Amino acid sequence: MIKLIKYELLRKQNNIFISLIILAFLELGILFGIYKGGEWILLSMVFIFTMIAGGILMVFIDTIRSYSFDLNQKQGYSLFLTPTSGYKIIGSKGLVSLIELLFVVIVVFGLMFLNFQFTKTLYYDQINQVSGEIFHVIKQSNVLPSLGQFFLFVTASTFEWFTVIMIAILAITLRKTILSDSKIGWIISLVFFIAIYSLMEIINATALASFGFIGDMNEMVQLSSTTPDPSVITEYIYKYLRIACALFPIYIGVLFYFSGKLLNKRVDL
């Protein structure tokens, strides 16, 4: 699998270079908006949203495009002609997408830190006053997450994102198995994706219900209107983040199993 991962990363060199250029352009726009101030701050906000949402979406699209290309094009499909396991192929695709996501998160986080420092330098007095008031309110409300809670949120979010990736991979593999010669393969894959995603949502809702989700949500709504302390509500949130960290790896494992099993059939090689 190590060789497959290296192969995938080498193929993505041009995409990474283009992505860095786009990120640099967005970052210059953000810094320009901060420097100009006033209504130009809106430009910075738009570019920040584009950078974060676009980065995550880019990783998803790139993973699906790469996998679909390998299944449908003979030059890309040469990877599948090697005597290797379908599970290794699926695993390498998934791990590379995770590496891409971590790369995007680290770069974007670094740029956001740079933006904050730049803003703090330009508007030192205003930033100190506003940030001081914000942190005071957060500290008084007892909702500032601990390092463990922050890690819990990041882990649950990563597992959820990875589950969506595996659903898309299974949808594409399933389409290749059933209707390999269809000229509207992407539409069929999309239908399979929606169907599998909907099924997973039903399964997930059923699993959460077994942990008392409905009762907890009703109680949380009541508490939000009667209890001024938001930390009581955040306890429910962290409870289900912990449950998500337990459930999503199971979903990923099931999706991985069926995707690898279908790919092992060497459909239309």
pLDDT of residue 77: 44
pLDDT of residue 228: 55
DSSP 57-107: HHHHHHHHHHHHHHHH-HHHHGGGGSS--HHHHHHHHHHHHHHHHHHHHHH
pLDDT of residue 73: 66
Instruction: Find all residues with CB under 8 Å of 64, minimum gap 6, and list them.
Output: 165, 168, 169, 172
- Look at 156 and 141; give whichever has higher pLDDT: 156
Mean pLDDT estimate for the chain:
81
- CA distance readout (Å), 101 to 22, 104, 127, 128, 228: 16, 5, 31, 32, 37
Q: Give per-residue pLDDT as tens, 221-241.
A: 776 666 656 666 777 888 889
pLDDT of residue 264: 79
Q: Give per-residue pLDDT as tens, 79-110.
A: 554 546 778 888 888 888 888 888 888 888 88
Of 3, 53, 23, which is closest to residue 161 (Cα–Cα)? 53
Lowest average pLDDT, out of 11-25, 57-71, 111-125, 238-252, goes to 111-125
CB 66 within 8 Å of CB 59:
no
What is the domain partition of the chain in residue ranges? 1-141, 144-269
Res. 269 pLDDT band, cuts 50 70 90: very low
pLDDT of residue 119: 81
pLDDT of residue 191: 92
pLDDT of residue 258: 92
- Look at 5 and 144; give whichever has higher pLDDT: 5
Q: Quick one: average pLDDT of 253-268?
A: 81
Q: Give per-residue pLDDT as tens, 11-59.
A: 788 888 888 899 899 999 988 888 887 788 888 889 999 998 888 888 8
Res. 142 pLDDT band, cuts 50 70 90: low
Q: Give per-residue pLDDT as tens, 146-195.
A: 777 788 888 898 899 999 999 999 999 888 887 766 677 788 889 999 99
pLDDT of residue 149: 78
